Amino acid sequence: MTAQADLQPRIVSFKELHDKLFPLLQGYEWAEKELHDLWKIGAPDPQSKPCKCKDPRTCKHQKRILLPKQFQTWWKMICDKQAFELTAAQALALPTLKGKT
């Protein structure tokens, strides 16, 4: 099974995605901004609740579908620039490190 086959579309809030990946992106503002852009590319989850949060990093109500191919392309770029050796699936499987934002 390939790494690409391991990664499936998933419904996530930006807060969930940010909390999981921020420790790896910390200090790279360009990567954080691109993470939000990547999340916005996904289709909104029709069951998401409307949200009035001003900061998407704190909103757990609004969710979108994270598209595997786009995430893998973005993650490869991050790895190339920062010398990470994690696959996209491994990055998403990391435990969330709360309290590090």
> Is residue 55 situated within a structural domain?
yes
C-alpha angle 49-13-50 in degrees, rounded to nearest 5: 20
Angle between helices 14-25 and 68-82 (to 10 degrees): 20
pLDDT tens per residue, range 27-61: 888 888 889 999 999 999 988 877 788 787 888 88
Q: Is 2 within a domain?
A: no
pTM (predicted TM-score): 0.76
* Number of domains forming the structure of the chain: 1
pLDDT at 85: 81
Task: Provide the domain limits for residue 52.
Answer: 8-93
